[in-house]
């Protein structure tokens, strides 16, 4: 059954809109994902939204029908509303025809089964949600197991991160930990920690990568703290032929992850 919502001040609209805000996401333990492609990726990965919001004026699509069926079968709620209200919920002028609400995933380190993948991505103090989502997307592409967020990172459940992940937020494990908890966890099992670094580093091509390989990138402006770099098992350096001494964090992680993939394949 579909519920029609026509008023901006409807409490459900207010709730959905509040999920753009981190504080409210954490209170509710919910997040928002938009677009048929993303919601279909989620569904095919086994995640059906608890609330499905659809634009009244949408083009019919069999994947929307499939989504609606699954939401209802799962005991979820289906809401139809205007483009204007959908725009208000998603914060986009031209909103997608559908959006869905999901429960945030458990992000404790214990969700990481290191033996399940050869590559894991690790980001320290990554502040840009777009970079974070891009790293999830890259992780999916290289067959990584997931992304471990160290210290104070952007929220992986923000609309921007979910959007940039292109669905990988539903396929990659995500863990959040302080460095002082991550390092003992890492050292309690197998795992090689690798960072791109200018300090006492070997060329990134042909470096002795070993699985499970944890590829660590640092904060967008400050890079990695020195003691974090020194705690790594392997420091590698990428050619820097121009004026700059660093790459975009998500780019550095991707170039390195593809190199690790080629080495471990």
Q: Which residues bind a copy of itself (CB under 8 A)?
A: 41, 44-45, 130, 134, 137-143, 164, 166-168, 171, 205, 238-244, 246-248, 250-251, 254-255, 258, 261-262, 265
Query: What is the helix, strand, coil percentage profile of the chain, to 5?
Result: 40, 20, 40
| Cα–Cα distance list, 209 to 1, 23, 41 (Å) | 53, 39, 31
Supply the minimum distance, in Å, between the C-beta of residue 6 and a copy of itself.
31
Instruction: Give whichever of 227 and 265 is closer to a copy of itself, judged by the CB atom.
Output: 265
Stated as kind and residue range, the H or E segment containing 123 is strand 119-124
Distance from C-alpha of 121 to C-alpha of 102, rounded to nearest angstrom: 24
Three-state SS at 129:
helix
Name the nearest CA neighbour of 207 among 239, 247, 235, 186: 235
Instruction: Give whichever of 85 and 135 is closer to a copy of itself, judged by the CB atom.
Output: 135
Supply the minimum distance, in Å, between the C-beta of residue 163 and a copy of itself.
11
Supply the minimum distance, in Å, between the C-beta of residue 245 and a copy of itself.
9
| Cα–Cα distance list, 141 to 2, 34, 87, 166, 206 (Å) | 36, 21, 31, 11, 21
Distance from C-alpha of 112 to C-alpha of 120, rounded to nearest angstrom: 9
Instruction: Give whichever of 144 and 153 is closer to a copy of itself, judged by the CB atom.
Output: 144
Stated as kind and residue range, the H or E segment containing 237 is strand 234-237
Instruction: Give whichever of 6 and 115 is closer to a copy of itself, judged by the CB atom.
Output: 115
Supply the minimum distance, in Å, between the C-beta of residue 239 and a copy of itself.
6
Supply the minimum distance, in Å, between the C-beta of residue 107 and a copy of itself.
19
Q: Measured in Å, how far apart are the chain's first and last C-alpha atoms?
A: 49
Instruction: Give whichever of 192 and 248 is closer to a copy of itself, judged by the CB atom.
Output: 248
Supply the minimum distance, in Å, between the C-beta of residue 10 and a copy of itself.
31
Report the residue count for the chain.
265
Stated as kind and residue range, the H or E segment containing 55 is strand 51-55
Supply the minimum distance, in Å, between the C-beta of residue 151 and a copy of itself.
20
Instruction: Give whichever of 13 and 238 is closer to a copy of itself, judged by the CB atom.
Output: 238
String of DSSP letters for 89-117: HHT-SS--SEEEEEEPPP-SGGG--GGG-
Instruction: Give whichever of 31 and 204 is closer to a copy of itself, judged by the CB atom.
Output: 204
């Amino acid at each position: 059954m579909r519920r029609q919502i026509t008023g901006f001040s409807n409490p459900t609209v207010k709730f959905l809109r509040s999920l753009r805000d981190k504080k409210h996401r954490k209170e509710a333990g919910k997040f928002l994902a938009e677009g048929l492609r993303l919601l279909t990726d989620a569904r095919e990965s086994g995640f059906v939204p608890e609330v499905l919001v659809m634009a009244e004026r949408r083009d019919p699509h069999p994947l929307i029908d499939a989504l609606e069926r699954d939401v209802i079968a799962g005991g979820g709620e289906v809401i139809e509303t205007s483009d204007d209200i959908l725009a208000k919920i998603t914060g986009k002028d031209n909103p997608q025809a559908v959006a869905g609400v999901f429960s945030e995933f458990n992000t404790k380190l214990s969700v990481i089964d290191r033996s399940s993948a050869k590559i894991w991505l690790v980001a320290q103090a990554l502040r840009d949600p777009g970079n974070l989502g891009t790293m999830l997307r890259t992780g999916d592409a290289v067959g990584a197991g997931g992304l471990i967020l160290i210290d104070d990172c952007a929220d992986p459940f923000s609309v921007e991160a979910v959007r940039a992940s292109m669905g990988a937020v539903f396929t990659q494990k995500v863990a959040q930990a302080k460095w002082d908890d991550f390092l003992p966890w890492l050292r309690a099992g197998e795992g090689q920690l690798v960072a791109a670094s200018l300090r006492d580093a070997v060329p990134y091509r042909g470096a002795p990568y070993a699985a499970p390989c944890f590829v660590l990138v640092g904060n967008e402006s400050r890079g990695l703290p020195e003691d974090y770099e020194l705690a790594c098992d392997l420091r590698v350096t990428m050619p820097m032929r121009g004026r700059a001494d660093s790459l975009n964090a998500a780019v550095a992680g991707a170039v390195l992850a593809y190199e690790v993939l080629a080495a471990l394949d």
